[in-house]
Amino acid sequence: MKMNTMYRIPALCIFLVFPLHIPAQISTSGEPVNAEAKVEYPRIEIYTQRDTGNPDAGNDRWTGPDGRTVYGGKADYRPCIVRESIVLDEKQKEAVLNTSLRWLPYFGEEKENITLRTYFEYMEYMEVFRSLFPKDMNTYESMTAKPGDEFFVETLLTYRRSPPNSVTVLWLDEFRWYVDDVYYSSGFALDTFVQGGQKEVLTEGEIPDFLDLYWPFQYKLSEGLPYLQLPENKNLLPETGAVLGYALSPGMPNTFSYDAKVMVSGCIGDSKIYTDRARLAALLLQAKAIDWDELQHHIPGSSHPDRQVVTLTVWCRGHRYRILDPGYNEPESAAAVFAQKVKDLLGPRKNNAER
């Protein structure tokens, strides 16, 4: 594991809502998901935390109670989550599936090494798939109860206590994936396939906070098996309901309205359409920087009956908020910028003839 010291799932769907009183000639042209959200498979992704602050800014400093100057960390420390990814060709895919996975020794059981091909094949048969994992988490919890100086457990299950340098995810397709270094480890073998991959900054933030909200990672910590779920990982994400939504109400005749909602798994509504789940986690992390409680009570814009109203749905810190007209009076506000990002992720686009 790189330390400092994926069963088929429901799928993000957009509902196009047109009340009965809207004339038949209303424009219904629109694609369910932005092309930017399209993800190709199979692929390998590596997530890392990088400091994008100014290296020449020096160290932070302040005056202590005794009048002396106290020196802290970097004055311009800006941690960001970076994703490096590569889409595999058929030859690379076969090589990846033949990669050996070593069972990690923290669960009080001995198991044979397996290949990624076996991992995905067993996934089709739940009873067999269960045999790949611990019967319980008792040994692991006993080992991790030790004080820090005796703590040598290297698995992503400890990602908060020992933040990882990187997290590697293999996506076989939209519905099947594997997170390295949870119960099994490839020993960096998967990382070698990503050399020269595409890099992108997803969001500001630290990797444990991102992983808290990255559903594919959270799912693999227990492999969907209730008896493997650790208490500290419960309730990090909602089990039901939308985590983000962007709706535009009907207005004058011939106007376009829609209601787009994305679930925690990345599926839009109850469809088989997915958004980029890492970008979804990035938005959920950014949402934590906004005071949604205060925004819930703001007065929306004009009450003109034909005016189209934007409704933003946001799940944040265990609560689901519905905000009307975010940024109507302050178009440059943090809420308005965030709403635009949600719209970019979920909003429909005009068809090719209208572009």
**pLDDT tens-digit profile of 250-271?**
888 777 888 999 999 999 887 8
C-alpha to C-alpha distances, 213 to 1, 69, 167, 223, nearest whole angstrom: 21, 38, 14, 16
pTM: 0.83
> How confident is the model at residue 232, as a pLDDT?
93
Buried b (16+ CB within 10 A) or exposed e, 206-228: ebebbbbbbbbbbbbbbbeeeeb
149/202 same-domain check: yes
pLDDT score of 327: 79
Question: In this structure, are 254 and 179 located in the same domain?
Answer: no
100 and 197 belong to one structural domain? yes
In angstroms, the CA 76 to CA 58 distance is: 8
Distance in angstroms (rounded) separating the CA atoms of residues 105 and 118: 20
Give yes or no: residues 49 and 197 share one domain.
yes
User: Does residue 278 lie in a domain region?
Assistant: yes
Quick: pLDDT tens for 119-164.
999 999 999 999 999 999 999 999 998 776 666 789 999 999 999 9
pLDDT at 18: 30
What pLDDT, on a 0 to 100 scale, did the predictor assign at position 20? 27
Residues 319 and 185 in one domain: no
> Does residue 69 fall inside a structural domain?
no
Query: pLDDT value at position 243?
Result: 98
Give the residue from 201, 217, 233 where a domain finishes. Answer: 233
Low-confidence stretches of the chain (pLDDT < 50) are 5-36, 349-355
- Provide the pLDDT for residue 149: 62
Identify the pLDDT of residue 5.
Answer: 44
Gap between the Cα atoms of 217 and 136, Å rounded = 19
To the nearest whole percent, how much of the chain has pLDDT over 90?
A: 62
SS3 at position 41: coil
What pLDDT, on a 0 to 100 scale, did the predictor assign at position 313? 96
Q: Are residues 192 and 278 in the same domain?
A: no
Q: State the pLDDT at residue 17.
A: 34
**Which of 233, 258, 278 represents a domain boundary (last residue)?**
233
Domain limits for position 334: 13-38+238-354
